[in-house]
């Protein structure tokens, strides 16, 4: 069990007991936040963040909702195995196991970055249990678009060395994924779990798992996820989008709007990829109102 540094506890003041850890069928241990009460909200982060991304969302919503925020294997306070299948399929299966472990008979879903494909894969497995969906700067469908900066990190040998040796992804994100300068303590929070070669393994493997060609091992699963997005056309959906995202730009937003024309959309032109860092104060009331409004 990891210990949160004392100076981060003010930012991340959550329960951290054995009940917050689940040993998965794969044999490794996943950490998750479980805060508040009411209808559960499953919040899924992407790469290279962790449950820290949703810290303020949890604080804003836990009086009305049960906020469940896992750290994917290799991320945050979860175990970081060195010989492991860091694939889209495996991440989906891990979250399915968590939902079953917590016996969530119904839940809302909030996704960001890789949390989108993972979350939609989970939601398709539990289609009748998912009630409402909140989408923030992510994808759930194939695209031939990829940021040059991210593509560079996919370069064999060089990419691994950049990400795991120099922390180019987790540390770099604290500069590139926000429109407003990040507070040094917040930057420390994002980088805290990724402090050496071994602990940065998932940040490298997530990048390598981006399916840019049909020969990629995760390509077929992404095709299935995209094909089954239609399952959620009747679900209440909120899209909150940062307009200064170098990774998931406005074409990804248009992709969601085309697939979900009934979704409520709020666009934040001056927010970056880490939308909740740049515009959380504006986003959280929208999320709360969306979840509380009778549709």
Count of domains for the chain: 1
Residue 13 above 80 pLDDT? yes
pLDDT of residue 58: 98
CATH code where residue 20 lies:
3.40.50.1820
When pLDDT is cut at 50, 70 and 90, the band that residue 294 belongs to is low
* Host domain of residue 25: 6-292
pLDDT of residue 36: 98
pLDDT tens for each residue of 154-198: 898 899 999 999 999 999 999 999 999 999 999 999 999 999 999
When pLDDT is cut at 50, 70 and 90, the band that residue 145 belongs to is confident
pLDDT tens for each residue of 239-254: 999 999 999 999 999 9
When pLDDT is cut at 50, 70 and 90, the band that residue 132 belongs to is very high
**CB-based burial label for 80 (10 Å; 0-12, 13-18, 19+):** buried
Within a domain: 98: yes
Within a domain: 1: no
């Amino acid at each position: 069990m990891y210990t949160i540094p004392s100076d981060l506890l003010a930012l991340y003041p959550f329960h951290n007991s054995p009940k917050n850890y689940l040993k998965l069928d794969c044999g490794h241990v996943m950490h998750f936040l479980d805060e508040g009460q009411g209808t559960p909200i499953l919040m899924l982060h992407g790469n290279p963040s962790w449950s820290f991304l949703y810290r303020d969302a949890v604080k804003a919503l836990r009086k009305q909702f049960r906020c469940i925020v896992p750290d994917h294997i290799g991320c945050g306070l979860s175990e970081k195995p060195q010989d492991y299948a860091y694939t889209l399929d495996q991440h989906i299966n891990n979250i399915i196991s968590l939902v079953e472990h917590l016996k969530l008979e119904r839940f809302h879903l909030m996704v960001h970055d890789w949390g989108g494909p993972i979350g939609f894969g989970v939601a398709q497995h539990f289609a009748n249990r998912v009630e409402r969906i909140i989408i923030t700067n992510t994808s759930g469908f194939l695209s031939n678009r990829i940021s040059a900066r991210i593509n560079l990190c996919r370069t064999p040998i060089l990419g691994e060395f950049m990400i795991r040796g120099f922390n180019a992804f987790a540390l770099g994100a604290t500069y590139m994924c926000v429109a407003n300068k990040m507070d040094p303590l917040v930057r420390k929070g994002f980088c805290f779990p990724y402090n050496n070669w071994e602990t940065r393994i998932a940040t490298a493997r997530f990048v390598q798992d981006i399916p840019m060609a049909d020969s990629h091992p995760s390509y077929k699963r992404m095709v299935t996820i995209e094909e089954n997005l239609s399952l959620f056309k009747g679900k209440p959906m909120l899209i909150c989008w940062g307009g200064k995202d170098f990774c998931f730009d406005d074409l990804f937003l248009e992709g969601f709007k085309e697939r979900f024309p009934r979704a409520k959309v709020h666009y934040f032109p001056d927010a970056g990829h880490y939308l909740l860092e740049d515009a959380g104060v504006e986003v959280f009331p929208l999320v709360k109102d969306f979840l509380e409004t009778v549709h």
